[in-house]
Amino acid sequence: MKRLWLLFAQTVTVLVAAYFVVATLKPSWLDHRPSTSYVVPVFEAAPPATGTEVAPGSLRAAAQAASPAVVSINTSKVTELPQELADPWFRFFFGDQGSAQPQTGLGSGVIVSPAGYILTNNHVIEEADEIEVVLNDGRTSVAQVIGTDPETDLAILKIDLDKLPVITLGNSDALAIGDQVLAIGNPFGVGQTVTSGIVSALGRTQLGINIFENFIQT
């Protein structure tokens, strides 16, 4: 009986030792769990067919029609140094503080006439010494200020380029609060952006009429 018990103990010891060896060197032999690799079904839209209609509610057509006429406006102006910086005694005690440095600005505008007239904000070009217009197609041109109206923050520029894309002006009398509108611009010079919203208010004390009257008279 004692011999059988000793044989049983040795057998168990050998089996346990073999288990640890296999578990250490070949753990995959002991892994009988089902595979965790699954094929997950997903639903993909069918490729668009030629001539497919635009989805209901999409503003794609309006954005594509208006975007070419939206331009980026780069401005620069040289700021004058304070008078004390130009004083020789000030420079003697505090050193040369440098010369006047140009300040740059960015904004957007829209071409409203094939003759090269551009409507923009007055604050974009206010006090600018140089104004450069960059078209959506990559062309550039120096712009001339035709008129400004600080009260309504509007300004009109002019560039001399051929085959200009022109925005189609809508009838503002037909506009109503709640109508959907687009805002297109390139104020940071990194490419055009398009966003949408609704008309929130109308009849803001006839803003913008003065500048257009002056433009027409010119």
What is the pLDDT, as a whole number, of residue 211? 46
Tell whether the model's pLDDT for residue 50 goes beyond 80.
Answer: no
Domain annotation covers residue 198 = yes
Asked if residue 67 is part of any domain, the answer here is yes
Does residue 29 belong to any structural domain of this protein? no
Contact 110, 136 (CB under 8 A): no
CATH no. for residue 67?
A: 2.40.10.120
Parent domain of 203: 60-80+88-217
Written as one letter, the residue type at 159 is I
User: Which ranges of the chain would DSSP assign to H, the alpha helix?
Assistant: 2-25, 60-66, 83-86, 88-94, 122-125, 209-217
Asked if 151 and 175 count as a contact pair (C-beta separation under 8 A), the reply is: no
17-21, 164-168, 204-208, 212-216: least confidently modelled range:
212-216
- 26-33 contacts at long range (C-beta below 8 A, 24 or more positions apart): none
Instruction: Say whether pLDDT at 170 is over 50.
Output: yes
**Domain presence at residue 153:** yes
Distance CA 145, CA 130 (A): 10
SS3 content of the chain, % helix, strand, coil (to 5): 30, 25, 45
CA-to-CA distance for 169 and 112, rounded, in angstroms?
A: 8
Cβ 128 vs Cβ 105: under 8 Å: yes
Strands (E), 140-188: 140-142, 144-149, 154-158, 180-185
What does DSSP assign to residue 194?
Answer: E
Would you call 148 exposed, middle or buried from its count of C-beta atoms within 10 A (0-12, 13-18, 19+)?
Answer: buried
Domain assignment of residue 118, yes or no: yes
Q: Is residue 17 domain-resident?
A: no
pLDDT, tens digit, for every residue of 104-155? Answer: 788 899 999 999 999 999 999 988 889 999 998 889 999 999 999 988 889 9
Please report whether residue 38 resides in a domain.
Answer: no
pLDDT at 214 over 50: no
Number of domains in the chain: 1
In a domain, 31, yes or no: no
Chain-centre distance for alpha carbon 28 = 52
Q: Which of 4-8, 34-38, 83-87 is predicted most confidently? A: 4-8
